[in-house]
Structure 1
Amino acid sequence: MTGAQASAAGGSGVTPTPRGGELGTAAVSQAGLWNIANILTMVRLLLVPCFVVLLLHDGGYDPMWRSFAWAAFAVAMITDVFDGHLARTYNLVTDFGKIADPIADKAIMGAALICLSSLGDLPWWITGVILFRELGITLMRFWVIRHSVIPASRGGKMKTLAQGIAVGMYVLALTGPLATLRFWVMMAAVVLTVVTGLDYVRQAVVLRRRGLAAERAAALEAVAAVADVQDGVSGQCVADSAGEGVQPIVDPVAGLRGATEAAPVAGVRGASEAER
């Protein structure tokens, strides 16, 4: 059995290490720009101008073109769900995705709200509240990113879902009870937008305070450590000076001066004794 195993391993007796797992791990850890998550994000970015053109075609009141615009908006919302899930599941997170994904989200939602308000279908104050909240939370995330990352809450996900459903219903040319229903769905989305926005503000303030407190504590610990080191060095010097093995301090300049002064005196003394 040992000989068979050795011959199967190339005569060395060592079982070769499978390389498939290593290569697979390396391939995943070295995710490049062109991965499925980033491609979906790029598709969502490209859908933004297409959506605007479809929604505003023929004055923005053609039910057929608005149905096409709704389809583009729905595809953008679906890709928003899948690209983040794929990036986290298969370790496809890249710097491009971190920047482009939130931009794509805000672009498609902002374009829909502004177009609907410009057409007179949606009050401008609703567009203003939602856009102000989204922009403010994005800036607040950058404000506290040095200390921590504000995680996406369940309320934030419900807000995104409510906004998507409400805006989608406004994109479609609905009438009657459905038009009334979309108004209340939009009101629910606005309430969730405001409530979750205030909760994110609270989280940001708490995280920043904790981060600043941790930085101050670390600075105090560093100062205390330096002081302890300096005290230890000073104590060691005092102990060494009080010990028995310390040599007296000799001034080399004084030694040389004494030697030069003693040499002529000795020479004169020797000469006087020789003459005697």
Structure 2
Amino acid sequence: MTRDERRLVSPWNIANVLTVIRLALVPFFVFCLFLPSQGWRLVALALFVIGSLTDYFDGELARRYGLITDFGKIADPIADKALTGAALVSLSILGELPWWVTSLILVRELGITIMRFMVIRHGVIPASYGGKVKTVLQIAAIVLYLLPWGPDVLRWIVMGAAVVVTVATGVDYVWRAIRLRQVAKRARAE
């Protein structure tokens, strides 16, 4: 698909609608997570899993049917961060996840989002493979923490892997933003 054809894709397509649905699920997920019963905890888990699955399907549909839009490139990572951020903060408020883990992940996520907006005039930095691995690890770790039962060691191991990949991909995004800015400066100079 050429760049001109891509501009003709409506932002109101199924991929972007799924992204918006993911954003809309966040407050319901948080509400259910704070209700005091194992049943509501499982409802919160189900909402989180549904929201996480929309991340897979919106990306797959966008690529398969050529529904990639600038709105989607920007809204999708924001929706991801809203869902995972709400889960991490909620788990920390509930005393189930250390605040330093939540803080480290959120600082990286917000920092990269701000950086992406700062360099958007030079171009859009699409999600990398490492960013996708980071998202999967964060989702898996959060699911393990949301389960009302489960081995703590497995939770810690998966969350530890998520933290390491989160930091590493943050460094990669900063490097990609610097290169994008340098390429844009050279192009303007020529």
Whole-angstrom CA distance in 2 between matches of 1:49 and 1:72: 10
Aligned partners of 1:63 and 1:172 also within 8 Å: no
Mean CA deviation greater in 197-206 or 128-137: 197-206
Normalising by structure 2, report the TM-score.
0.88
Q: What whole-Å deviation, never above 9, does each CA across 1:98-138 have from its counterpart, x for those lacking one?
A: 44323221111111011000000001111111111111111
Q: Percent identity?
A: 56
Residue 76 of structure 1 aligns with an amino acid whose one-letter code is: G
Whole-angstrom CA distance in 1 between matches of 2:74 and 2:124: 15
Partner of 1:204: 177
Q: What whole-Å deviation, never above 9, does each CA across 1:198-233 have from its counterpart, x for those lacking one?
A: 1111121122122212322x2xxxxxxxxxxxxxxx
Whole-angstrom CA distance in 2 between matches of 1:113 and 1:53: 14
Matched, 1:55 2:33: yes
Give 1:88 deviation, angstroms.
2.5
Equivalent positions of 1:123-202 (< 5 A) are: 123-175=98-150, 178-202=151-175
Q: What whole-Å deviation, never above 9, does each CA across 1:134-189 have from its counterpart, x for those lacking one?
A: 111111112222333323222111111100000111111224xx221111110110
Unaligned runs of 5+ in 1: 1-25, 219-276
Relative to 1, partners in 2 of residues 1:146 and 1:39: Cα closer, same or farther, differing over 3 Å?
A: closer
Residue 163 of structure 2 aligns with an amino acid whose one-letter code is: V
Aligned partners of 2:73 and 2:126 also within 8 Å: no
Aligned partners of 2:78 and 2:113 also within 8 Å: no
Normalising by structure 1, report the TM-score.
0.62
Give the match's secondary structure for 2:35: helix
Whole-angstrom CA distance in 2 between matches of 1:151 and 1:76: 21
Higher RCO (CA 8 Å, separation ≥ 6 residues): 2
Partner of 1:214: 187
Relative to 1, partners in 2 of residues 1:214 and 1:96: Cα closer, same or farther, differing over 3 Å?
A: closer
Whole-angstrom CA distance in 1 between matches of 2:172 and 2:73: 23
Give 1:94 deviation, angstroms.
4.3
Residue 214 of structure 1 aligns with an amino acid whose one-letter code is: A
Partner of 2:18: 40
Whole-angstrom CA distance in 2 between matches of 1:135 and 1:103: 9
Aligned partners of 2:7 and 2:69 also within 8 Å: no
Equivalent positions of 1:219-230 (< 5 A) are: none
Give 1:30 deviation, angstroms.
5.3
Whole-angstrom CA distance in 2 between matches of 1:146 and 1:99: 13
Whole-angstrom CA distance in 2 between matches of 1:200 and 1:46: 27
Q: Which has the larger radius of gyration?
A: 1
Residue 179 of structure 1 aligns with an amino acid whose one-letter code is: D
Residue 45 of structure 1 aligns with an amino acid whose one-letter code is: L
Relative to 1, partners in 2 of residues 1:35 and 1:132: Cα closer, same or farther, differing over 3 Å?
A: same
Equivalent positions of 1:64-75 (< 5 A) are: 64-75=39-50
Q: What whole-Å deviation, never above 9, does each CA across 1:18-75 have from its counterpart, x for those lacking one?
A: xxxxxxxx9x9855454322221222122111101110002xxx22221111111011
Relative to 1, partners in 2 of residues 1:93 and 1:214: Cα closer, same or farther, differing over 3 Å?
A: closer
Whole-angstrom CA distance in 1 between matches of 2:134 and 2:101: 14
Which runs of structure 1 show a deviation greater than 6 angstroms over 4 or more consecutive aligned residues?
none
